[in-house]
Amino acid sequence: MARKKAEESKKMPAGDPGVQGLRAEVVEQPITETLESNYMPYAMSVIVSRAIPEIDGFKPSHRKLLYMMYKMGLLTGARTKSANIVGSTMKLNPHGDAAIYDTMVRLSRGYEALLTPFVDSKGNFGKHYSRDMAWAAPRYTEAKLSTICAELFRDIDKDTVDMVDNYDGSMLEPTLLPTTFPNVLVSANMGIAVGMASQICGFNLSEVCETTINYLNDPNHDLLSTMPAPDFPTGGEIVYNADEMREIYRTGRGSFRVRSRWRYLPKENMIEVYEIPYSTTVEQIMDKVAELLKAGKVREISDMRDETDLSGLKLTIDLKRGTDPDKLMAKLGRLTPLTDPFSCNFNILIGGNPKVMGVQEILDEWIAWRTECVKRRVYFDLQKKRDKLHLLKGLGKILLDIDKAIKIIRETEKEANVIPNLMIGFGIDELQAEFVAEIKLRNINREYILKRVEETDALEKEIADLQDTLNSRRRIKNIIIAELKDVMKKYDQPRCTGIVYTDEVEAMTEEETVEDYPVTVFLSREGYFKKITPLSLRMGGEQKFKENDALAWSSETTNRAELLVFTDRQQCYKARLADFEDTKASALGTYLPTKLGFDDGETVVDVILPGDYTQHILLVYENGKVGRVPLECYATKTNRKRLTAACSDKSALVCVLPLTEETECAIFTSEGRAVVFSTALLQPKTTRSTQGVGVARMKPKYRVTGAKLLRDTDIKNPARYRVRSIPALGAVLKEEDLGHEQLSLLEE
């Protein structure tokens, strides 16, 4: 009955009231099956057919566009409207005219994204270094192929690469272009696929060709000696580190910095930036500088404007009087994209599979692929000459007895029988007989016969030479080298991007680029932090805190100082005071646990100003032990904010005391005792998590409640509490030695 109702419900129209009340059948499918059947084919399509370049240096969209322009005769002909090119390319690329035109723009000379542009453009094609400079519509621009494209399509009609049907089977297109030079290294390429990406920087064409030639001659050739670094059409300077670059060449991964080129005009007191890193735009730089000016982090600039015109890129920075241009540009290089990193990820499709390779491995793959292209071309020529020789040999047999051939043709009644009769009469095949039958009557003379005999001898020599080439790896290699030398000779161009070595760069430290001025810092018991300038402090009045909160610590310092924050989880957080905004006494301040990213429930125990990290600190624990640790143990070369295992986990940390010189320290216990000892009794430990040395000896139910340097306490008679050796029990505090703060510690 249920089955019958289900069948009836399928026959009922959707709006039939009889269908209402019946629930649709839900088919369960494992998520793994859904991913395998639906998502994975899509992901592989994006990886293989869209985003990742192949060994010829092109993505499918690039290849389809260039091949269609080649078929349109735009390699040698005049320019045509871009709209015509886009429309024709849709025969190969079904992704829409907008995507095709975007591809064409990137390959164009006017856009300036490639060192060797493949599209000779006319009109407004925008600029790679500008985010907002839009290119004109395709109906307004014109284009043709650049002359270097002759190297992309050389001998493409000689079966050098595989040809496949386009998406509707109406024409053939190449799977790869037979480039005569390693375009995969010359043309910059970026692609984002599903689960992977590719970022290939461009190299100078002449350097790539020279390196490939040297590598073909010597597999142990040092690639860096002839191809020291990438090259970008936007210029700039690579901050060169040989070890980093060698690692990029080896693995295909890594990054390097590119900085802008600029000049200072003293008469106008301005800086002109005329080359910027390839990975940024003028708008990004302008936006970042404006943000810094608004935040008050850069005070040396009075104005900045974009003066880019037909002569090229130019960003002009007007300076305030007395500004050092070198220091300002070093500061802007650290804070803005005027110095920008370029990340390398040489991910290339090899045989349909993505693979991250170093430069040497890419050259190996290209040489192997190019060798196959040359072999296929030689084999194509060989077969053509063999076919021609075969026809000439048939002709030779007939020319030995022309009268017999004429007699056979004259005595043949039907035209269809001419070819079979010639085949029988001279023992030749159909192709040879067809060739002979098509000879003109005027060619049956002695001169023609002698020329054909000589041509036969020359063909036999050429065939032998081609066969030898096909069997010789050395001769194939020499062909590749000759073509590379020809490319170098025709299309040589100087480097656009300069190289400046790291030891030549005056690296301005971060402290030098941060404005320095006196400040006073405050920390409340609940973890609220303030940084106040002297002027604001004088005019601000009383400090404001939350209800039940109060001041825990304060100190005078400078804006360039660092802060070490110790917590109850044996962790230490580093912070730069410059990262905190200047505030007023009437403000609550910045909540440190949120600012520094504390773990849930983690609280501040103490803070110190480490200065230059040359002094020591005392870590005072509840169990009466004190650890003396050099501050250099907390110094880091990187900008790490969190240091784990910053102190011992055997007992709770009570406080941290900075120690600039040998002095005396007082420890207070919950029993009401005090121990005054010399810090010289404590030997420095080399590890942050040291358990320390016993100083205050206590009964099990008591603990250390606080510690201070003796000079900061209210103790009137320190001799009563001073000890010569540790650990010590100390003495009970007398009433006259109990200061306000010590009373509060004891009450806790």
Query: Annotated catalytic sites, by residue?
Result: 140
C-alpha closest to that of 55 among 367, 479, 478: 367
C-alpha 160, offset from chain centre: 34
| The two structure tokens encoding residue 662 | 């040998």
Burial class (CB in 10 A: 0-12, 13-18, 19+), 710: middle
Greatest C-alpha distance within the chain = 147
Task: Decide: helix, strand or coil at residue 554.
Answer: strand
Q: How many Å apart are CA 4 and CA 230, to the nearest integer? A: 73
Q: How many Å apart are CA 229 and CA 208, to the nearest integer? A: 10
Are the C-beta atoms of 84 and 100 separated by less than 8 Å? no
Are the C-beta atoms of 482 and 211 separated by less than 8 Å? no
| The two structure tokens encoding residue 48 | 């293989």
C-alpha closest to that of 511 among 583, 578, 556, 574: 578
Task: Decide: helix, strand or coil at residue 476.
Answer: helix
Q: How many Å apart are CA 245 and CA 233, to the nearest integer? A: 19
Are the C-beta atoms of 600 and 654 separated by less than 8 Å? no
In DSSP terms, 626 is beta-bridged to: 620, 693
Q: What are phi and psi of 664, to 5 degrees?
A: -110, 150
Q: How many Å apart are CA 240 and CA 499, to the nearest integer? A: 6
Q: How many Å apart are CA 325 and CA 269, to the nearest integer? A: 9
Are the C-beta atoms of 488 and 210 separated by less than 8 Å? yes
Half-sphere exposure of 123 (CA within 13 A, CB side): 21
Q: How many Å apart are CA 533 and CA 557, to the nearest integer? A: 10
The DSSP string of 138-180 is TTT-EEEE-GGGGGTSTTGGGT-S-EEE-TTSSSEEESS---S
C-alpha closest to that of 104 among 71, 135, 72: 135
Are the C-beta atoms of 552 and 525 separated by less than 8 Å? yes
